[in-house]
Every structure is written in structure tokens, then in C-alpha cells.
Chain A
Amino acid sequence: MSEEAFEAVGDYRYGFHDPENATIRFDKGLSEQVVRDISALKNEPEWMTDLRVKAYRHFEARAMPDWGNCNLLESINFENVTYFLRSSDKTEKNWDDVPDDIKNTFNRLGIPEAEQKWLGGVTAQYESEAVYHSIREDLEEQGVIFLDMDTGLKTHPELVKKFFGTVVPHSDNKFSALNTAVWSGGSFIYVPKGIHVEMPVQAYFRINAKNMGQFERTLIIADEGSSIHYVEGCTAPSYSTDSLHSAVVELIAMEGAKIRYSTVQNWSSNVYNLVTKRGVAHKNATVEWVDGNIGSKLTMKYPSVLLKGEGAHAEVISVAYAGDGQHQDTGAKVHHLAPNTTSNILSKSISKNGGRSSYRGMLQVMPKSSGCRSKVVCDALILDESSRSDTYPTMEIGNSTADLEHEASVSKVSGDQLFYLMSRGFTEEEAMGLIVNGFFEPFTRELPMEYAVELNKLLELEMEGSIG
């Protein structure tokens, strides 16, 4: 670990970086040629190359969003980003075969240990591609496909072609266009009819290089009556220059299927995190987003669900923590496209040390969607005078039979709470840590226990050394 890395790390415990041993590294900057080179390097079918090029042209033509944090968005220098970096020539099935420096990184992040204890499968992405990938044999025998996206495209081209970009088209927004143009890595999952994957599968995304752009692409298809829980984690070194993470995630839950997608986003505070996540729920299917945003400089992410079949259900539980220099612009979107569909949205945010959190929500009920129910709860906790919280809820209700609830609250930690906890032996910082963990508890309890413990520790660290 270099001295420079040490300086920048500060309180962020994942801020270390390892030497860059790239086997292939593209020059910085983006052009149609870069897009074609990525596709050629991966030996992709022509349709994918064409789609990438089309998406690139859309990205070039499309203006930046005129909402959200426009100043920060405009400060992104797309010419100063490395769009492809290969650090290992192969995706290994055994950690022992992963290059030592990369393996050490994932050891420090606790991934192999977690895999042994409680996961059904793991993919570990380092820079642009997966360096490790493994799935439990019993799942493989049941026909569950869990691959990195590049391998998925090679081995299941028809399935990928059928669903890729159907939930999030390249033209959805500027960053979905960018992702479609330069995507690399991510997960491809198919769960056959009636199969329940009992243990969560995990993907871990690590950026190591400076000015890196990571553009993973994930596609999860749960066939009729099946279920899966996918967990995603991410960290990066703390550099003084910015990195860009722009992923696209598409979930497809067929009739009666259930997909839960849990994220603990803990990027270092130099990362722009601009992600499009959307799921489709067919008849009686459920799509759940459990989305935690702790790190990054700017996150703009609004996990969405299209309730396409009658009786489908959406659940979006999200938390955001915005500290010094951070803006978490997050939220949820649910579109009730069919009758008798239901949704729950719970959003909680904490702003501290000048951090800013924004909730942006969209709830839509189409005219023909009768008998829909939805509940939206937004709670913001502001820890000091310099911090900020905004709420931008939008509701488009086209059917009068809809049963809707919306609750919003903004609160501060009360002196009475602090005095009470301190009278029980807690320092002021410990008391704040307890209150903050308690505030996020409705989210934390939805996570696998190992993540919950980790998240609580993380928040306690955030409360340290911050009270005068």
C-alpha cells in the first residue's frame, strides 16, 4: 500500500489500493472505436457490437439530466476515464488460481470467508471483469445458471439476446446508454421453473485503479414459481481523483417468481455512482429491492419495478447516508401497470457533516389498473445544521380505486434521547451510533445477518470523531 493511499484513506477502511497489474488497459477516453474495441476483444456476436455502437451514439447525442445534482454531473470528465481494464486473463473457479494481489484484496474484504459460510455462489469483479466465479454444485445440478455476464453471453447467447435491454433500454437515460455501450462484467442469472435458491448468491464489485470506470451489467431471470436472493457489495480505494461507476441491472420475475436484490453500496467518496436498476414483475410475481447507499461522492439511483401482471408485488426498502461532501440522490419508482398490484416503499436517509440526501420517488397507477394498493414511507434524520434533506415525491394516479398511503417525516436526534442514553453509560458518539443504527433498523433487519453486523459497524465508525 503506497503512502498516497494511506493519506487518502481517512476513516474509510476499504480505501486501500493494490498495485495495478493490468494485462490489458485501454487509453483514457471514449470513442466509437473504444466501444468497438471492447466488443472485439470479447469476441462478441455482431448484434451486441451493433447495440453497443447504437448506444454510444445515443450517449453522445443525449444531454445530461437537467435534474438531480447538475453541478456534480457536469463536472464528470468522460475523457479522463479508463473504460476497460483487464487485470487477470481468466475468470477462476478456485481462489488459489486468482493472482495473489487480487486474491489478497478480496481476502481483506472477507469474500472467500463469507462464501464458505453462507453463500450459494460468488462472483468477484475486479475493474472490468470477473476474476473469480463459483456456484455451489447442487445449484448447478438443478439447472441454475449463475455466470459473469461476459461468459453468459458466450454460453447462452439466445437467452441473453432475448432479454438483454428489454427492461432497461439503452435509450432509457444517458447513463444506461453509456453502460450499454461499454458494459463489461456483471452477473447473468437464470433460475429454472420452480427452483428456490435458498442461500443468497453474491457479487462483489471492486474498483482498484485510478480514474477507473466500472460498467457492469446484470441480468437476472427467475422463471415461473422460482426464487432467488442476490446480494451485491462494492468498495473502492480513496483517490483524490474521481472514478465512475455506472451499472445497469435488469430483473425479470416470471409468473409467481420472486427476486430479491440487496445492495450495500460503500464506494469511496471519490466515486460517481450512477446506476439504473429496474425489475419487471409478471403475474403474482414479487420484485424486492433492498438498497443501502453509504458511500460515493454522488449517487443517483432509483430502483424501479414495473408491475406488469395482475397480483404482482413490489417492495423497495432503501437507506442512504450522506456525510461530508456526499450527495445521495436516491429513491424508488413503482409503476402499477396491471390490476390488483401492490407495492411498499420505505426510504430512510441520514444527513451529517454537510451531507445532502434527496428522496426522489415515482408512483404511477395506470387507468386500467384497478384495485391497486401502495404505501410509501419516507423518513429523514438530519444530524446537524449544515446538512440537508429534500423529498421529491411524484404520484400519477390514473385509477380512482387505488388505495394509497404516503407518510413523510424529517427528524433530528433529540437532547432527551442523548441524555437518556448517556445516563446509561454511553458516550455521546456511542449514543449517536445507537440512534443511527436504530433508525436504519427496518432496512438492516432485511439483510443477511453478516451484512447487517457489518453495516452497523460501519455506521458506528461514521459517528466517531465527529462530535465536538
Chain B
Amino acid sequence: MSEEMLRVENLHVSVEGTSIIKGLNLTIHRGEIHVIMGRNGAGKSTLANVVMGHPAYEITQGTIHFQGQPLEELAVFERARAGMFLSFQYPAVIPGVQVGTFLKKSVASVRDDPPKGRAFRKELNGAMAELEMDKSFLSRYVNDGFSGGEKKRLEILQMLLLKPNLALLDETDSGLDIDALRIVSKGINKIAPEAGCLIITHYQRLLDHVKPHFVHAMIDGAIVKTGGPELALELEERGYDWLDVAA
């Protein structure tokens, strides 16, 4: 079996005293695409944020390992530098900071062998072409005045440039039109063979473009059922109530 990227064991998480994740287990290996589906409030985004180290969430029980290393001691930026990436559902606006500058500095912080000068520009141009992004993006301010689709594209662009070992994609497909969905999927498929991917989504339609190895149904803070791509179709058709009964 290929290298283990993420191992979540018996994870319990709360925010301001409210328990959100209740005994979640999940293991992701290199080259695997996992999809988590569930209703709003099931704890999907919380899982992505807590793995990345968001300070608002408290782990009350259980452990998270990244490439065999326990995560609790790693600050957020150290997780990024170790090769973890989170594509945000709502990326923050950073006024006055140009996308080009931001990408260059971020790549220099995260990658062990950051490309410099011409090499960086070449890689950047290639990735932007792949995502059908205009060069004018680079002189805009990070997410400032971006449409929903533009924000998501910038997230995927960062993912391509940072080359993570573990990519967490939090509702990256929400609010995208068909073209944007196709482009975003292209980005995911590009990094997927070399990384572990965790895709959080509400919709089956992303899976027309990205083929998951595992689909998990999450209800009330825990994974209640795991299957292949067929589970996604079933969840979209039948909803989650039948699982409530099963749970």
C-alpha cells in the first residue's frame, strides 16, 4: 500500500463548548481521492479546518497524524510547509496585496526547492494557462472584488503551485458554473496522483469530472457509511434520512 498521508483516529472536536465532531475516523493514502458528503452542519468544514489547525477549534479527544507525524504540535504555517493545503470555502480578502507577490512569497515559504525568477514565472504561467486564468489576475489584490468562481480558481492555482502532499478541498465546487467546475476539476486531477485528496462537497456533479476512490457519508460529526462513487449518486438521489435510520 502507498504512503499514508492522513490518519484521523476517534476525533472529537468542539467549538466554544459545542461538540461538532464526535468520534471520526479516516485514513488517506497518497494517490487516493476521498469525498465527504453530508448535510449542512454535519461537521464537514470543521474537519477540514481542524486538520489545517484553525485556532477556534478544540480537539477534545483523538489524534490526527500527517505522514505519520502527530499534528497537535505543528502551527498552521508549519502544516503548510510540511505539505498540507486547504482550499477554503470562503477565502479571505487581503486588500492591497497583489496576487503575484502573494503567490511568489507563499511558494517561497512552503516549497523546499522554490523556483525563482524566470523558473517561477514559467511555472506560474503554465499553471494559469491550465486553469484558463488571465494574467491580469496577478496584479489584482488577493480575493478583493473576486467573483465566487474567481476565488475558487485562485485557490486551485495556489494548490498547483504549492504542490501539497495532502489537499483538503472545502466545497471548492459550490457556486461554480459548468466551465469553472471543469477547470477546477482539471486542477484536482493534476495533483491527485501524487497527493492525498479530501474533497468536501454537497453535489455529485463534481464527480462527473473527478473519480473518487472512496465516498463517505457524514452525519452528526461522524462518518456513518463509506462506499465507492456509487454512494455519491445514491446520496444525491435519496438524501441522508435513510442513513439517520441506519445510524
Contacts and interface: CB of A to CB of B under 8 A. Distances in A.
Contacts of B53: 422-423
Smallest CB-CB A-B distances: 7 pairs:
A438-B96, A441-B96, A425-B109, A420-B92, A425-B110, A422-B76, A438-B97
Given A421-B92, A438-B94, A439-B96, 7 more contacts: A420-B92, A424-B80, A424-B109, A438-B95, A438-B141, A441-B95, A441-B97
Contacts of A437: 96-97
Contact of A423 (B56, B76, B95, B102): B76
A206 to B, nearest CB: 31
Contacts of B79: 423
Interface string B92-119: 1111110000100110011000000000
A419 B80 CA distance: 11
B195 interface: no
B9 to A, nearest CB: 23
A427 interface: yes
A423 B52 contact: yes
B178 interface: no
A415 B142 CA distance: 16
Interface in A63-114: none
A425 B80 contact: yes
Contacts of B54: 419
B158 A424 contact: yes
Given A419-B54, A419-B55, A422-B80, A430 B92 contact: no
Contacts of A423: 52-53, 76-77, 79-80, 85-86, 88
A189 B151 CA distance: 49
Contacts of A434: 94, 97, 102, 105
23 contacts: A416-B90, A417-B92, A417-B93, A419-B76, A419-B92, A420-B91, A422-B53, A423-B80, A423-B88, A424-B80, A424-B158, A425-B80, A425-B81, A425-B106, A425-B162, A426-B105, A427-B75, A427-B77, A430-B105, A434-B94, A434-B105, A435-B94, A440-B96
Nearest to A427: B77
Contacts, number: 79
B138 to A, nearest CB: 15
Interface residues of A, number: 23
Nearest to B81: A425
Most buried by A among B79, B88, B96, B97: B96
Interface string B137-162: 00001100000000000000010001
A422 B96 contact: no
Interface of B: 52-56, 75-77, 79-81, 85-86, 88, 90-97, 102, 105-106, 109-110, 141-142, 158, 162
B195 to A, nearest CB: 16
B94 A415 contact: no
A434 B81 CA distance: 18
Nearest to A442: B96
Interface string A430-462: 100011011111100000000000000000000
B95 A416 contact: no
Contacts of B95: 438-439, 441
A414 interface: yes
Contacts of B92: 414, 416-417, 419-421
A425 B97 contact: no
A424 B108 CA distance: 10
Contacts of B96: 437-442
A422 B80 CA distance: 8
B101 to A, nearest CB: 9
A408 to B, nearest CB: 16
A440 B90 CA distance: 24
A330 B53 CA distance: 40
B94 A424 contact: no
A424 B92 CA distance: 12
A279 to B, nearest CB: 27
A441 B140 CA distance: 12
Given A437-B97, A439-B95, A422 B88 contact: no
Contacts of B102: 424, 434
Contacts of A419: 52, 54-55, 76, 92
Contacts of A416: 90, 92
B145 to A, nearest CB: 14
Contacts of A425: 77, 80-81, 106, 109-110, 162
